[in-house]
Amino acid sequence: MNEAQRLVDLIPRLRRYARALVGDRATADDLVQDTLERAWAKLHLYRRGTDLRAWLFTVMHNVHVNRVRAARPTDLIDDEMPELAQRAAQGDALLVRDLDRSIARLPAEQRAVLLLVTLEEMSYEEVAHTLDVPIGTVMSRLSRAREKLRTMMLGQSAAAAKQLKLVK
Amino acid sequence: MSDAPITESELQAYADGRLEPKRRMAVEAWLAAHPEEAERIADYRKIAKELRSIYDPVISESLPPRFLRKRVHWKRYALVAGWTVVGFLIGAAAGWELNESRPALAPAADMGAAMARRAAIAHATYSPEVRHPVEVGADQEAHLMAWLSKRLGAPLRAPQLEEVGYSLVGGRLLPGDTSPVAHFMYQTQKGARITLYVRTDVAGNRETAFRYAEEGKVRVFYWVDRRMGYALSSGDIGKDELLKVANTVYQQLNP
């Protein structure tokens, strides 16, 4: 199959990654759009026989980094940010909403690694290649991303438990 | 080897289910002796599962049409055509390269009638052909679409017109005034032919009304949809039937 068609076939996956990376749908779709425009323009630079998916996700990564830089100077993580656990939802819904919000609070480079490993199921080598970092960096970012997320979730669970007690 | 100490990277790989069996067993044994670590890794797996359950549904969402109607980038055509056609294209590419501005595109206003004329000429040229009506036949449709999509710089689809009695014969690449054009041919069982002329370099335009032109014996319905220009031509069928097919084409392209 020709790479133009393969590129089109990859759009839904790009979109999934973008949604998890930037959170809201409109911004994510804009990111996909910018990525596709760049990818079409650069397709002649893609080397046949190499990994088109890695190439395309690299394009998205670069577009994303540029967009974030242009939009705001910092992609900050604030571990001290108080949790506002006011939602009435319970059980799984609570976890889901907390998780996508928590993802957004990860440092961008850790978030990218975690999402490429978890959603795209890229090998660690492919992630290293896509993000152009050493594999050791991939492993340490993955480890830190997971631990940070877990800590946030545990903190939220504790906060939620406290709130339930207050309601009683 | 399986007695080597367990590393954090191996724990991560274990959480991802990526360890080879020998090390996996070693990690499992180690985790059995370290329940807090086992809980941590179990939480990682839970997080991964939740992540997938949140975002995997995005895969099956229908794609916004804007993803599939790509603006044509000059640079590609400069690379393709620059050597053989005109230095002017290289100038355009250089300008685009320098300021990354939106590429200059054919103005829509005076473009429609010119497109109809070009489409009619292409129709008159190729539709009488018996042996070589198309460059790539419908039997290689996937290849045809991939090839034309690549050359036009936009993912193309050939409408399925069986419901109105036309089957795809195939397609070819044609020169356009600013970039290559795709040309699809269809015919009925009795041999009546229509051709669809598709260009991807039209300036932004919201006008999607059908317009009608006659060039000699060829009738043409044409329309512009964002950056795509379409012209449906036939010398074999009447205006009403052609309009019916044009409607079907439009619907197929805008599901």
Residues B22 and B137 grouped into a single domain: no
Instruction: Quickly tell me which residue has 């070693």 as its tokens.
Output: B26
Identify all chain A residues contacting B79, using CB atoms and an 8 Å cutoff. Answer: 44
Residues B23 and B112 grouped into a single domain: no
Identify all chain A residues contacting B155, using CB atoms and an 8 Å cutoff. Answer: 4-5, 8
pLDDT score for A106? 92
In a domain, B87, yes or no: no
Confidence of residue A72 (pLDDT cuts 50, 70, 90): low
Residues A29 and A95 grouped into a single domain: no
A71 pLDDT above the threshold of 80: no
Distance of alpha carbon A87 from alpha carbon A123, whole angstroms? 37
In a domain, B165, yes or no: yes
Identify all chain A residues contacting B64, using CB atoms and an 8 Å cutoff. Answer: 29
Residues A120 and A153 grouped into a single domain: yes
Chain A residue nearest residue B102, CA to CA: A37
Residues A57 and A97 grouped into a single domain: no
Residues A31 and A43 grouped into a single domain: yes
Supply the CATH number for residue A128's domain: 1.10.10.10
Distance of alpha carbon A55 from alpha carbon B178, whole angstroms? 29
A37 pLDDT above the threshold of 70: yes
Contact B44 A150 (CB under 8 A): yes
Residues B113 and B50 grouped into a single domain: no
In a domain, B186, yes or no: yes
* Domain count across chain B: 2
pLDDT score for B154? 84
What's the distance, Cα to Cα, between the start and end of chain A in Å?
A: 62
Q: Which residues of B touch A (CB under 8 A)?
A: 8-9, 12-13, 15-16, 18, 40, 43-44, 47-48, 50-56, 58-61, 63-64, 66-68, 70-71, 73, 75-76, 79, 142-143, 145-147, 149-150, 153-155
Residues B56 and B116 grouped into a single domain: no
**Which of A11, A19, A99 comes nearest B47 by C-beta?**
A99
In a domain, B77, yes or no: no
**Which of B50, B70, B79 comes nearest A40 by C-beta?**
B70
pLDDT score for B179? 85
Residues A41 and A89 grouped into a single domain: no
* Angle of helix A124-131 versus helix A135-167 axis, rounded to 10: 100
Most confident of A97-101, A137-141, B106-110, B164-168: A137-141
Residues B20 and B140 grouped into a single domain: no
Splitting chain B (255 residues) into consecutive groups of 10 residues, what average pLDDT does each group show? Answer: 80 95 95 94 92 92 75 44 38 37 46 85 87 87 89 87 91 88 92 92 69 88 85 91 90 79
In a domain, B88, yes or no: no
Instruction: Give the global pTM.
Output: 0.53
B114 to B117, B119, B222: CA distances (angstroms): 5, 9, 10
Identify all chain A residues contacting B227, using CB atoms and an 8 Å cutoff. Answer: none
Supply the CATH number for residue B162's domain: 3.30.200.100
Residues A87 and A32 grouped into a single domain: no
Residues B203 and B113 grouped into a single domain: yes
In a domain, B161, yes or no: yes
Residue B56, H or E segment: none
Residues B156 and B56 grouped into a single domain: no
Residues A69 and A83 grouped into a single domain: no
Residues B165 and B56 grouped into a single domain: no
**Which of B63, B79, B147 comes nearest A11 by C-beta?**
B63
**Beta-bridge partners for B171:** B136, B184
pLDDT score for B94? 38
Range of the domain at B22: 8-60
* Domain count across chain A: 2
CA angle B224, B229, B233 (to 5 degrees): 105
Residues B26 and B129 grouped into a single domain: no
Residue B113, H or E segment: helix B111-126
Mean per-residue pLDDT, A5-28: 91
Smallest CA–CA distance, residue A73 to chain B, in Å, is 22
pLDDT score for B92? 40
- Residue B182 token pair: 């795709």
Question: Taking Cα atoms as reference points, which of A49, A56, A48, A50 lies closest to residue A15?
Answer: A56
Contact assessment for residue B79 and residue B93, using Cβ atoms and an 8 Å cutoff: yes
Give the ipTM of the model, two decimals please: 0.82
A38 to A26, A77, A150: CA distances (angstroms): 18, 29, 35
Residues A83 and A64 grouped into a single domain: no
A155 pLDDT above the threshold of 80: no
Sign of CA dihedral B89, B93, B94, B96: positive
**Cβ atoms < 10 Å from Cβ of A157:** 14
pLDDT score for A113? 97
Q: Which of B60, B76, B97 is the last residue of a domain?
A: B60
pLDDT score for A162? 59
Residues A151 and A94 grouped into a single domain: yes
Residues A64 and A83 grouped into a single domain: no
Identify all chain B residues contacting A33, using CB atoms and an 8 Å cutoff. Answer: 66-67
**Cβ atoms < 10 Å from Cβ of B232:** 29
pLDDT score for A147? 93
Supply the CATH number for residue A15's domain: 1.10.1740.10
Range of the domain at A81: 77-168
Instruction: Compute the mean pLDDT over every residue in chain A, rounded to the nearest whole number.
Output: 80
pLDDT score for B128? 86
Distance of alpha carbon B165 from alpha carbon B236, whole angstroms? 14
